[in-house]
């Protein structure tokens, strides 16, 4: 099956800092999504981005499907950005998730 | 408000006592799916449904059953729960397979 790798596994930020999370995948995909799991366990869909660039407030994402990677940018980080960020790709009717990047934003 | 609703949020049960976790979506989505999340193993798909009366196994279907009699509901049934089914469970839906997913708030199940 398709492999999804995320880096870095852990990230500690000072409030206000910018960061980039990376997602590599092993095969071509038609569907890539980024999720945020907050400290209470809820999974929130951030982006549906099979290709190109999208922005939503302080977050933006870019997927280069031909090179099999996607990037999630967090700008001017806030403590509420803490949690685990997952990328997931569609493979045979299911989303295959990466292991996630745990982000801790300190005040 | 467009959402996926799971119930219950928390459940502690005993081995062998049948239980059902309900999932309902109000977005007229065709595709629904169940996942379990375990430390070190990430999120793994249990079952999915492409539409009413169409269901299929995911990666870890053993010990679970599902049904899709109505478009909005996709219950997860554990006929004889065992401690290795202790996990955080998520239901998800999307307009069709390949579109953006909306997840429910999760059900934390403990089987003792």
Q: Which of B42, B56, B68 to mutate to test the interface with A (most CBs of A within 10 A)?
A: B42
Residue A94 pLDDT class (50, 70, 90 cuts): confident
Cα distances from B99 to residues A81, A101, B63, B87, B96, in angstroms, run 25, 23, 28, 26, 6
Lowest pLDDT segment from A10-19, A91-100, B51-60:
A91-100
pLDDT at A29 > cutoff 90 = no
With CB atoms and an 8 Å threshold, state whether A93 touches B101.
Answer: no
Q: A89 to chain B: nearest residue by CA?
A: B98
Q: Please provide the size of chain A in residues.
A: 107
Residue A49 pLDDT class (50, 70, 90 cuts): very high
Alpha-carbon distance B41 to B87, whole Å? Answer: 11
pLDDT at B47 > cutoff 80 = yes
With CB atoms and an 8 Å threshold, state whether A97 touches B42.
Answer: yes
HSE at residue A53, side-chain half, CA atoms within 13 A, is: 4
pLDDT, residue B100, reads 87
pLDDT at A56 > cutoff 80 = yes
Q: Residues 3 to 42 of B: which have CB under 8 A from any A CB?
A: 33, 42
Mean pLDDT for all residues in chain B: 95
Alpha-carbon distance B70 to A59, whole Å? Answer: 36
Alpha-carbon distance B71 to B55, whole Å? Answer: 12
Q: Six-digit token pair at A6?
A: 């995320």
Alpha-carbon distance A21 to A11, whole Å? Answer: 9
pLDDT, residue A63, reads 96
SS3 A67: helix
User: Which phi and psi angles does A67 have, rounded to 5°?
Assistant: -105, 5
With CB atoms and an 8 Å threshold, state whether A31 touches B98.
Answer: yes
Alpha-helical runs (H) found in chain B: none
SS3 A79: helix
pLDDT at B98 > cutoff 90 = no
pLDDT at A91 > cutoff 80 = no
Average confidence (pLDDT) over B46-75: 96
């Amino acid at each position: 099956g398709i492999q999804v790798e995320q880096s870095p596994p852990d990230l500690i930020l000072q409030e206000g800092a910018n960061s980039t999370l990376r997602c590599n995948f092993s095969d071509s995909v038609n569907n890539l999504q980024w999720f945020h799991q907050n400290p209470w366990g809820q999974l929130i869909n951030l982006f549906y981005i099979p290709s190109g660039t999208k922005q939503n407030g302080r977050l933006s994402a870019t997927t280069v499907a031909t090179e099999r990677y996607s990037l999630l940018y967090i700008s001017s980080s806030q403590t509420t950005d803490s949690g685990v960020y997952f990328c997931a790709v569609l493979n045979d009717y299911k989303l295959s998730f990466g292991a996630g990047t745990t982000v801790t934003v300190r005040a | 408000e467009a959402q996926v609703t799971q119930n219950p949020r928390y459940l502690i049960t005993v081995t062998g006592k049948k239980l059902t976790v309900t999932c309902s979506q109000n977005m007229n989505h065709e595709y629904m799916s169940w996942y379990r999340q375990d430390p070190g193993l990430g999120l793994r798909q249990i079952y999915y449904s492409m539409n009413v009366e169409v269901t299929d196994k995911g990666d870890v279907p053993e010990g679970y059953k599902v049904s899709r009699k109505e478009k909005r509901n996709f219950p997860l049934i554990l006929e004889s729960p065992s401690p290795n089914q202790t996990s955080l469970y998520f239901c998800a839906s999307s307009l069709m397979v390949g579109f953006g997913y909306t997840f429910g708030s999760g059900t934390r199940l403990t089987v003792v």
